[in-house]
Amino acid sequence: MGVLNATPDSFSDGGRFLAPAAAIAHGLRLAAEGASIVDVGGESTRPGSEPVAQEEELRRVLPVVEGLTAALAPDAGEGGGGCAISIDTSKSAVARAALEAGAQIVNDVTALRGDREMAAVVAESGAECCLVHMLGDTRTMQQDPRYEDVVDDVKAFLEERLRSAVSAGVSEERLLLDPGIGFGKTIAHNLELLRRLDEIVAIGRPVVIGTSRKSFLGRIAAEAAGSSEPVRVEERLPGTLATNVLAYERGARVFRVHDVGPVRNALAVTAATLAA
């Protein structure tokens, strides 16, 4: 799953793909690198981010979804087909418009809690939906997050959200689960979730992992180098590769990343090794 932020304030590439033409071109690059999904978002979910008005979010994402839908259609020629479009939103109106424009997946960081109409939109459309664990909201999630047992608590949350989605009419076969690495977690919480990811996989739905370029990787790398400052975002690929390989070995099967080509290659080697 290639990350496409049509935002001015995302932590990794905010502002680079705010213009629709730039965003569409980047989405096509992600597909060319081997992304099976391009995840389009118009509202940053980084810690401390502020909400975006619905009209502004629609303005940011709809031209991108429409452009990618046309370019990636099976009959679009070279580069077309084989890549789905996901809409990263917690607003039902944005999800509905994006699905009508050609998106096939809803990636909801609130796990259908942020908008009570979202479950109905997903159910009626027949789209796939990713349910993400987040403690609190984006503005507060990193303010002293605490758990009794982070894996048990996240697993219980995802099981409850899975039941809730199914009871609202969403087909269980269309649901994916994301433990929300970095969403209301300390470094220790993130590492424990990765170490025991098989317990989340045991729920029985495909697990999405999103560690790409996140700050905890920068802090771990800095500590290893004896530095007090986290390594820069663009230097976090080694940590991204390591965490995705570990997650694959523990059963994750969807990997939300900025650097599609390198991660895809690392996972291909991992898969071949485990198969052998």
pLDDT in tens, 206-230: 999 999 999 999 999 999 999 999 9
At 192, is the secondary structure helix, strand, or coil? helix
The string of pLDDT tens digits covering residues 39-85 is: 999 998 766 667 889 999 999 999 999 999 999 976 655 555 679 99
Has residue 112 got a pLDDT over 60?
yes
Quickly state the pLDDT bin for 171 (edges 50, 70, 90): very high
pLDDT, residue 44, reads: 83
Quickly state the pLDDT bin for 130 (edges 50, 70, 90): very high
pLDDT, residue 8, reads: 82
Q: What is the mean pLDDT of residues 259-269?
A: 98
DSSP type of residue 123: H
The string of pLDDT tens digits covering residues 227-254 is: 999 999 999 999 999 999 999 999 999 9
pLDDT, residue 144, reads: 77
Which residues on adjacent β-strands are paired with residue 85?
38
pLDDT, residue 81, reads: 64
**Cα 230 to Cα 212: distance, rounded to the nearest angstrom:** 15
Query: Which residues are part of the catalytic machinery?
Result: 214, 256
Q: What is the mean pLDDT of residues 157-170?
A: 98
What CATH number is given for 1-108 in this structure?
Answer: 3.20.20.20
The string of pLDDT tens digits covering residues 8-26 is: 866 666 678 889 999 999 9
Has residue 258 got a pLDDT over 90?
yes
Q: What is the mean pLDDT of residues 262-274?
A: 97
pLDDT, residue 201, reads: 98
Angle between the 92-101 and 54-72 helix axes, to the nearest 10 degrees?
20
pLDDT, residue 182, reads: 93
**Cα 222 to Cα 41: distance, rounded to the nearest angstrom:** 29
At 118, is the secondary structure helix, strand, or coil? helix
pLDDT, residue 202, reads: 98
Six-digit token pair at 275? 């198969």
pLDDT, residue 50, reads: 77
pLDDT, residue 206, reads: 98
Quick one: 96 exposed, middle or buried, by C-beta within 10 A (0-12, 13-18, 19+)?
A: buried
At 4, is the secondary structure helix, strand, or coil? strand
pLDDT, residue 156, reads: 98
Average pLDDT of the residues of the chain: 92
3-state helix, strand, coil in the chain (%, to 5): 45, 10, 40
Question: Angle at the Cα of 271 (from 269 to 274), degrees rounded to 5?
Answer: 105
pLDDT, residue 18, reads: 80
pTM (2 decimals)? Answer: 0.93
Q: What is the mean pLDDT of residues 131-136?
A: 91
Ranges of each domain in the chain: 1-108
Q: In this predicted model, which residue has the larger pLDDT, 148 or 82?
A: 148
